[in-house]
Amino acid sequence: MKVLVLIKSVPAVAGRITLTPDGRAIDTKHLGFAIGPHEECAVEEAVRIVEAHGGEAVVATLGPSQALEQLRDALALGIARAIHLVTDGEEWDAGSTAAALVDAIRADEAESGPFDAILLGNEAGDSGGYQVAVRVGRALGRPTVTGVKGLSLDGGTARCEQESEGGRDVYELRLPAVIAVLEGINLPRFPSVPGRLRAKSKPVATSQPSRPAQGLEMLRLVVPQGAAKQAEVLGRGPEAAPAVVAVLDSLGVL
Amino acid sequence: MATVLVHVATAAGTADEISLQALTFARGLAAGGDVHALVVGDEAAAATLGTWGATRVHVANHPSLGAPAPDARARILGDLADRLGADAVVGPGTESGNTILARCAARAGLPFAANCTAVSLGSPTTLTRLRWGGSLLEEAALHAGRAILTVAAHAVAATETGGSAAVEAFTPDLDEADLAVRVVDRVAAAAGGVSLADAKVVVSGGRGVGSESGFAPIEELAGLLGAAVGCSRAVTISGWRSHTDQVGQTGTKIAPNLYIACGISGATQHMAGAKGAKKILAINKDSEAPIMAAADYVVIGDLHAIVPAISAEIRRVRGA
Ligand SMILES: Cc1cc2nc3c(=O)[nH]c(=O)nc-3n(C[C@H](O)[C@H](O)[C@H](O)COP(=O)(O)OP(=O)(O)OC[C@H]3O[C@@H](n4cnc5c(N)ncnc54)[C@H](O)[C@@H]3O)c2cc1C
Ligand SMILES: Nc1ncnc2c1ncn2[C@@H]1O[C@H](COP(=O)(O)O)[C@@H](O)[C@H]1O
């Protein structure tokens, strides 16, 4: 099997989001970068498919030079090689991202043969566009399922499970297919030290696509103002228990 | 005035709540123009949509549409939008709504904006949409002759107009290719305990719980309160609990009357799942943890001492 996994490098925000002065990006001066949880699961799934069936797993991203770090993380987990579409840091909308990825996929397939499966996260951790998978699938003429929480490949088909009211819906796709997964489909492994060392010498092919006009043009970002709350301190340590129980009582949940 | 087409998801005669919200939102977009609703198969649900503000309801009937088939839905929606000359095509900001509207946009070669909270149609259309599961808002311009978008869940409340709508059934054109992606089987899930999404009280543990077995006191407190147990992502990726317990952007969105968060720092992605909680009680040893700013009540200290003390006090009070 040949599997491609698509990942996006996003700021590892934690406590509170701070924006750059122009309001067009998250201030990452004090932040690292990561990929979203869905994509970590997509990487894990790609590695497992190759462990089970043999073949090659490839990772690709469109993003600024620092996204190389996230590609190396994936390589450390057992992905064989990477494709980096390097941008100048300006944001690309999901439509133009998908188009550039499709060009890169076509070029890679012309050289190294087709991918049986292309795995993605269900939605990007930051922009949450909910569309790169179906755009890639549409452009390549391949069946696409999103929201996948269970996946098994055999012979020429992919069995994909989606959570639904009261159970799971099952799709059967003929390969090659495009599959967007949700966190929970598996429990991703952590990289090993030898894995990290091997990742350093794995090949990363780079190119610089040019950014087309944006169909969905981000103008600015806004941190929503939550209701300013002043928490009531019920106490310190176990001595606070009676005060807590009084609150539970007053809220009617006791 | 604009012509707006809304994809309404239904189940067994009832329109889904988020779709009704999208219909209410669409009335604002139409600004007095026609609000068309598309329903697949479900005549009974279609008949109810006039009271929710649809001015015309289209029911697509086709022998192959018994099982969900997102590409088929996208094709039907797109063809109908062409026939009506729709200025905007709108769907609910749910998993299936997002995939259907995204597919509709991909077929038309148009941009798509997921999870919008405000939209003003024009050239360009300007809108506000959710990022980071709602922890950040994006203001954007949508450059397209037809705006294709979903409305974020709970961006508006669904309101009735008490109107009525003509309901028209039609048989859509579909090819084999539109049906290649469809549900071929359904597996029933084993019935669980209190569902996290619907629980009135949720007691969650984070990295501060320290281990899988560290959850025993959390379970005990949850048991006493008839609460569901939740957790943070730090817990699920450590393998201490299953992902079905995870609260957050990539986990479950909860809306309890009370959320008790123990040893959880309050990362934006965690809080994105807890925004619906009416009250939050944080138990944390760090008085500077971000969750303190989101909480209504806090107890500062070691959860391993505090949580059992709360359970003991509940037993004492109830025994008295
Ligand atoms: C795209 C994306 C999506 C994400 N989605 C989610 C999601 O859905 N859900 C989610 O939870 N996270 C999510 N995350 C991860 C999130 O950013 C945080 O890493 C995670 O929520 C941290 O979990 P935590 O609060 O348990 O751990 P930490 O941040 O490590 O906090 C532990 C807390 O426990 C306290 N503590 C430690 N020991 C004790 C003790 N003995 N008694 C009392 N307090 C103690 C500490 O003071 C600290 O505040 C996501 C991240 C990304 C990038
Ligand atoms: N810049 C990117 N580079 C590579 N893959 C991406 C990029 N943006 C999005 N993706 C993939 O597409 C998925 C869905 O993204 P989106 O449709 O933007 O929410 C993500 O989870 C990634 O797997």
Residues A208-225: b if buried by 16+ CB within 10 A, e if exposed: ebeeeebbbbbeebebee
Q: Which of the ligands is closest to the CA of residue B236? A: 1
- Would you say residue A228 has pLDDT above 80? no
Q: Which two tokens stand for residue B38?
A: 């598309």
Q: For A116-167, where are the alpha helices, taking DSSP H only?
A: 132-140
Q: Does B210 touch chain A (CB under 8 A)?
A: no
Looking at CA atoms only, how far is residue B49 from chain A in angstroms? Answer: 22
Cβ distance of B99 and A128 shorter than 8 Å: no
CA angle B52, B57, B59 (to 5 degrees): 130
Distance separating the N- and C-terminal Cα atoms of chain B: 66
Q: What is the mean pLDDT of chain B?
A: 96
**B284 near B232, Cβ under 8 Å?**
no
Q: Is B157 exposed, middle or buried (0-12, 13-18, 19+ CB in 10 A)?
A: exposed
Which structure tokens are listed for A212? 């087309």
Torsion of the alpha carbons at A194, A197, A200 and A202, rounded to the nearest 10: -30
pLDDT digits (tens, 9 = 90+) for A78-137: 999 999 999 998 999 999 999 999 999 999 999 999 999 999 999 999 999 999 999 999
Rg (chain B; Cα; Å): 23
Query: With 80 as the cut, is the pLDDT of residue A47 above it?
Result: yes
State the pLDDT confidence band at B289, using cuts at 50, 70 and 90. Answer: very high
CA-based torsion, B24, B30, B34, B35: positive or negative: negative
* pTM of the complete model: 0.97
Put simply, the answer to whether B111 touches A143 (Cβ < 8 Å) is: no
CB contact under 8 A, A13 and B249: no
- Is there a contact between A17 and A131 (Cβ–Cβ < 8 Å)? no
Contact B118, B127 (CB under 8 A): yes
pLDDT (0 to 100) of residue A178: 98
B116: tokens are: 């919008």
Mean predicted confidence (pLDDT) in B33-62: 97
DSSP B105-158: HHHHT---EEEEEEEE-SSSEEEEEEEGGGTEEEEEEE--SSEEEEEETTSS--
Residue A27: pLDDT above 70?
yes
A244:B310 CB<8 A: yes
- Look at residues A75, A83, A45 and name the one whose alpha carbon lies nearest to residue A181: A45
Query: CB B114 to CB A128 under 8 A?
Result: yes
Could you tell me what percent of chain A has a pLDDT over 70? 100
> Mind listing the pLDDT tens digit for each residue in A192-212?
999 999 999 999 999 999 999
> CA–CA distance from B255 to each of A229, B195, B258 (Å)?
18, 11, 8
Contact of A138 with A99, CB cutoff 8 Å? no
Report the amino acid identity of residue A34: A
Q: Is A166 on the interface with B (CB under 8 A)?
A: yes
Angstroms from B144 CA to nearest CA on chain A: 7
Chain A residue nearest residue B138, CA to CA = A221
**pLDDT for residue B4:** 98
Place of tokens 């619906």: B276
Q: Output the pLDDT for position A61.
A: 98
Please state the φ and ψ torsions of residue A57, each to the nearest 5 degrees.
-110, 135
Q: How many CB atoms lie within 10 A of CB B85?
A: 9
Mean pLDDT of chain A: 96
Buried-state track B22-41, b at ≥16 Cβ within 10 A, e below 16:
bbbbbbebbeebbbbbbbbe
Q: A235 to chain B: which residues are within 8 Å by CB?
A: 299-300
Confidence of residue A226 (pLDDT cuts 50, 70, 90): confident
Q: Per the structure block, which two tokens stand in for A9?
A: 């490098």
* Residues composing chain B: 320
Assess contact for A147 and B95: CB atoms under 8 A.
yes
Residue B190 has pLDDT above 90, yes or no: no
Other residues' Cβ atoms within 10 Å of the Cβ of residue A162: 21
Residue A33 · residue A178 · CB < 8 Å = no
Q: Compute the average pLDDT of residues B131-155.
A: 97
The preferred substitution site among A83, A132, A134 for testing ligand 2, maximizing ligand atoms within 8 Å of CB, is A132
Rounded distance between C-alpha atoms, residue B245 and residue B182, angstroms: 29
- Helix (H) or strand (E) run with residue A252 in it: none
Contacts of A17 in chain B (CB under 8 A): 132, 135-136, 268
For an interface test with B, the pick among A135, A244, A249, A254 (most B C-beta atoms closer than 10 Å) comes out as A244
How many residue pairs bridge chain A and chain B with CB atoms within 8 Å of each other? 255
The reported pLDDT for the residue numbered B192 is 67
CA angle B172, B147, B9 (to 5 degrees): 45
Q: Which ligand 1 atom is nearest residue B286's CA?
A: 47
Q: Which pair of tokens denotes residue B176?
A: 């084999």
- Find out whether A231 and B300 touch, Cβ atoms under 8 Å: no
For A186, nearest residue in chain B (alpha carbons): B243
Question: E strands within B172-278?
Answer: 183-188, 201-205, 228-231, 258-262
Query: Are the C-beta atoms of residues A10 and A35 closer than 8 Å to each other?
Result: yes
What pLDDT band is residue B213 in, cutting at 50, 70 and 90? very high
Q: How far is CA B182 from CA A162, B67, B104, B143, in A?
A: 11, 7, 16, 31
Residue appearing with tokens 């709350």: A229
The predicted structure's pLDDT at residue A14: 87
> What are the angstrom distances between the C-alpha of B259 and each of A118, B4, B196, B262?
39, 39, 11, 10
Tokens encoding B101? 């509207």
Biggest alpha carbon–alpha carbon distance for chain A? 70
- Residue B219 scores a pLDDT above 90: yes
Q: Which two tokens stand for residue B179?
A: 């049906």
Residue B320 has pLDDT above 90, yes or no: no
Q: Is B176 helix (H, G, I), strand (E, B) or coil?
A: helix
Q: What is the ipTM of this complex?
A: 0.97
CB atoms within 10 A of CB A165: 8
Tokens representing residue A209 in the block: 């696509």
Q: Are strands B136-142 and B125-131 parallel, antiparallel or unpaired?
A: antiparallel
Across the interface, do A128 and B133 touch by the CB < 8 Å criterion? yes
pLDDT of residue A20: 96
CA distances from B199 to B230, B298, B308 (A): 10, 21, 21
- Separation of first and last alpha carbons in chain A: 55
Distance separating alpha carbons of residues B315 and B320, to the nearest angstrom: 9
Contacts of B115 in chain A (CB under 8 A): 128, 130
pLDDT at B189: 81
- Amino acid found at A86: V
Interface check for A102 against chain B (CB to CB < 8 A): the answer is no
Across the range B222-232, mean pLDDT stands at 97
pLDDT of residue A166: 81
Residues of chain B with C-beta less than 8 angstroms from the C-beta of A222: 128, 136-139
Is the distance from CB of A18 to CB of A7 less than 8 angstroms? no
